[in-house]
Amino acid sequence: MHVELLSYTPDPLRLLYTAARTCYSAGRPAELWAETASAAAMQRLIEHIVASGHHSILEHAYFNFALGGISRSCSHQLVRHRLASYSQQSQRYVEGPFDYVTPPSWEGAGEAWGRRYHRVMGELNDLYREALAAGIPAEDARFVLPNACSTQLVMSMNLRQLVHTVGLRTCTRAQWEIRRLFEQVAAVVRQAEPFLGAFLVTKCERLGYCDERESCGRYPLRADVLDQEERK
């Protein structure tokens, strides 16, 4: 798996600051953009607005990623996050041999299970290549390809959607591969823009409680927090 930040909105801190100021100022947005403000002042206002629950300003900042080495199983989960843009490698126009992802659990189950997994992947790859050689169109030959096939794509998300998706997908209850993916997504954003990247945390860290059916132990369940508050 690899994640690379291709590009992102220029001067995102000033953009979010300008958007926030626009909501409460009689000045024109272009005038507010031109005003001199320190990074600390812009950060304070953005933190205040976000802490107040007004997250719409985060939608103005976009981040564009190159993703690779994830399985089709992972990409099927990824595109459920619909407030984003995806351009994915086509199995119709890009012929194999295909690479594939091996879940740690298969090899962790024992050497025999690992060997069997890799053997089946090899057999499917051979069948796919033989189908192409027999004249079966690539769009039909690909029907034998498994969810394990690796894929490449470009993903673009605004910061508000990133906050939401990272919050969900880095939870310990998330499937292991997409959890690793968004851990890396969050890491590259933090490296490029540490202040904005600090918003990309698991949802329980932001909420102060766990809203799942069962807690992993990092934070108490929401019902338990409410119960403690009532007893005070």
Model confidence over 137-148: pLDDT tens digits?
Answer: 999 999 999 999
Q: What pLDDT, on a 0 to 100 scale, did the predictor assign at position 213? A: 87
Asked if residues 208 and 225 have their Cβ atoms less than 8 Å apart, the reply is yes
Note whether residue 137 is domain-resident: yes
Note whether residue 127 is domain-resident: yes
193 by DSSP, 3-state: which? Answer: coil
Note whether residue 10 is domain-resident: no
Is 84 or 212 the better-scoring residue by pLDDT? 84
Whether the predicted pLDDT of 52 surpasses 70? yes
Note whether residue 153 is domain-resident: no
Q: Lowest-confidence range among 3-17, 93-107, 149-163?
A: 93-107
DSSP class of 80: T
Asked if residues 32 and 25 have their Cβ atoms less than 8 Å apart, the reply is yes
Percent of the chain at pLDDT exceeding 70: 98
Note whether residue 108 is domain-resident: yes
Q: How many distinct structural domains can be found in the chain?
A: 1
Among all residues, which ones are annotated catalytic?
Answer: 169
Q: Which of 98, 91, 89, 71 is nearest to 138 (CA)?
A: 91
Q: Which of 170, 196, 230, 210 is nearest to 59 (CA)?
A: 196
Note whether residue 130 is domain-resident: yes
Copy the structure tokens of residue 78: 């990824």
Copy the structure tokens of residue 137: 């169109």
Range of the domain at 103: 92-148
pLDDT in tens, 91-107: 989 887 789 999 999 98
In which band, very low, low, confident or very high, does the pLDDT at 27 lie, cut at 50, 70 and 90? confident
**Mean of the per-residue pLDDT values for the chain?**
93
Q: What pLDDT, on a 0 to 100 scale, did the predictor assign at position 141? A: 94
Note whether residue 44 is domain-resident: no
Asked if residues 153 and 89 have their Cβ atoms less than 8 Å apart, the reply is yes
Q: What pLDDT, on a 0 to 100 scale, did the predictor assign at position 172? A: 93
Q: What pLDDT, on a 0 to 100 scale, did the predictor assign at position 229? A: 67
Rounded to an integer, the average pLDDT of 9-25 is 94
Query: In whole angstroms, what is the distance from residue 99 CA to residue 151 CA?
Result: 8
Whether the predicted pLDDT of 230 surpasses 70? no
Note whether residue 141 is domain-resident: yes
Q: What pLDDT, on a 0 to 100 scale, did the predictor assign at position 53? A: 87
Give the CA distances from residue 124 to residues 35, 68, 120, 142, in Å, rounded to whole numbers and listed in that order.
Answer: 61, 21, 6, 10
Rounded to an integer, the average pLDDT of 7-16 is 97
Q: What pLDDT, on a 0 to 100 scale, did the predictor assign at position 232? A: 63
Q: What pLDDT, on a 0 to 100 scale, did the predictor assign at position 64? A: 98
pTM (two decimals): 0.92
Percent of the chain at pLDDT exceeding 90: 81
Beta strands in the chain (DSSP E): 2-8, 62-71, 84-88, 150-158
